[in-house]
Amino acid sequence: MRILLWPIHGGYTDAFVRGGHEYVLAVRSVRPGEDDGVSGWGWERARAVPLDALRAEHIDVVVLQRPEEIALVEQLTGRVPGRDIPALYLEHNTPGGPAVATRHPLADRRDIPIVHVTHFNRLSWDNGVAPTAVVEHGVPDPGQRYSGELERVGVVVNEPARRWRTTGTDLLPEFAREAPVDVFGIDAGKLQGVFGGRAAIEPVESLPPDRLHSELARRRVYLHPFRWTSLGLSLLEAMHLGMPVVALATTEAVRAVAAGTGVVSTDVDELRLAVRAFLHEPDWAREVGARGREHALAHYGLATFLARWDDILTETVAAWPLSRTATHTYANAGGKTTTTTVAHAR
C-alpha cells in the first residue's frame, strides 16, 4: 500500500515506516539543499513529498494524527478522508481535559477508525461511535548496551521546564537526594534556570538517538516520572537497552513494566528507595534490567508492532466501499509476502 502521513513524531515514524509498504511523508515545500526533516533518518521505503505536490500522488490510505489534517488532506489532495479515501486516526495522547470525560475529536464519526497507541488511552478517551483499535508501541531494538558504570539516574523528557507537573519534572529533586539526575531531551538546558543549582539535576544537550542510547545506558538506573502522558517511548527504549527502570504507576506504565522488570508505584518515597537500591546493588540492577529487556523485546518489539499495523491497514482498506480496486503485493514484518486488493480513491 501507499500510505500518507505527516512525520510529526520522529520516534514513532521511525518504527512505523520500517514496514513493507510505501510511505509518503508530507513535508512543507523545501528549497534545494534544505533539510526536509526526513532524509536524515535513512528510511528506505519512505520519501518526503512537499505539500504542494501531494495532489499528484496516488494514495491508498491516509494515517491522520491531528484533527486539522482532515481538512489539510482535502485541501492538498482534493480527497476527503473517510469519504473519498480510506483513513485512520492515530491517537498518540491521553485526553487533555478531565480524565475519562473528554470526548475525542472524531467521536461522532463512524468512517474513520481511531487507533490508540495504548489500552489506557482507548479506555480514557470518550470515543463515542467511532470504531477503535489498539496498536501498542514497537521500538527498533537499540541492542543490549547497559553498563550502569555511572552511579547516576537517567531521565529522558522533552521540554521538561514547560511541561513540568505533566512530566513529573517537579519530582526530580526528590530523586536527586539519592544521586545526580541527568536529564536528556529537547530544551533540557532550561532546567538550569529552574532549579538554579539547588539540586543535583544536570541537563544534557539534546543528542541524536544512537548517542543518546549509549549515554543513557551508562547511567545506573532509568527514572520515568511522567504523571499524565501516553506511554513514553523513552521508557521502552531504556528497557530495550537493559536498564533497570523506576516509574510512576500512571497511565500505561503499569502494563509496560511487568513484575520483576522494574519498580512502579504512586508512592514517590517507595520509588526513591528503589532508586537507592539499584544504585547500591549493581548486580541486582543488571539482573532486573535483563528481565526488562526480555519483556520489552517480547511485547514491544518491532515485528509485532508492524504485523499489527499490517492487519489494521488491510482491514481498513478491504472494508472500503469504493468499487474501483487494484491488487498490491507487500512484505509484512515477518518477511511473508501478502497480496491484498485495495480500493483507489476517485
Which tens digit of pLDDT belongs to each residue from 261-276? 999 999 999 999 999 9
DSSP calls for 184-242: ESTTGGGHHHHHTTSS-EEEE----HHHHHHHHTTEEEEEE--SSSSPPHHHHHHHHHT
Beta-carbon neighbour count of residue 100 at 10 Å? Answer: 10
Q: Work out whether strand 150-156 and strand 181-184 pair parallel, antiparallel, or are unpaired.
A: parallel
64: DSSP letter: E
pLDDT of residue 206: 83
For the stretch 181-193, pLDDT in tens is 999 999 988 888 7
What pTM, to 2 d.p., does this model score? 0.87
Coil, strand or helix: which one is 253? helix
Name the 3-class secondary structure at 74. helix
Cα end-to-end span (Å), the chain: 16
> Rounded to whole angstroms, how far apart are CA atoms 54 and 56?
5
CB count within 10 Å of CB 138 equals 25
SS3 110: coil
Query: Residue 278: pLDDT band by 50, 70, 90 thresholds?
Result: very high
> What is the C-alpha separation between 93 and 154, in angstroms, rounded?
23
User: Torsion-angle region of residue 105: left (phi > 0), alpha (psi -120 to 50) or beta?
Assistant: alpha
3-class secondary structure for 259-325? CCCEEEECCHHHHHHHHHHHHHCHHHHHHHHHHHHHHHHHHCEHHHHHHHHHHHHHHHHHCCCCCCE
Give the position of cell 544504585: 279
pLDDT digit string (tens) for 135-172?
999 999 999 999 999 999 999 999 999 999 999 999 99
Rg of the chain in Å (alpha carbons): 21
Separation of CA 140 from chain center: 11
| Number of CB atoms found within 10 A of residue 336's CB | 11
Percent of the chain predicted with pLDDT > 90: 77
8-17, 64-73, 313-322: lowest mean pLDDT where?
A: 313-322
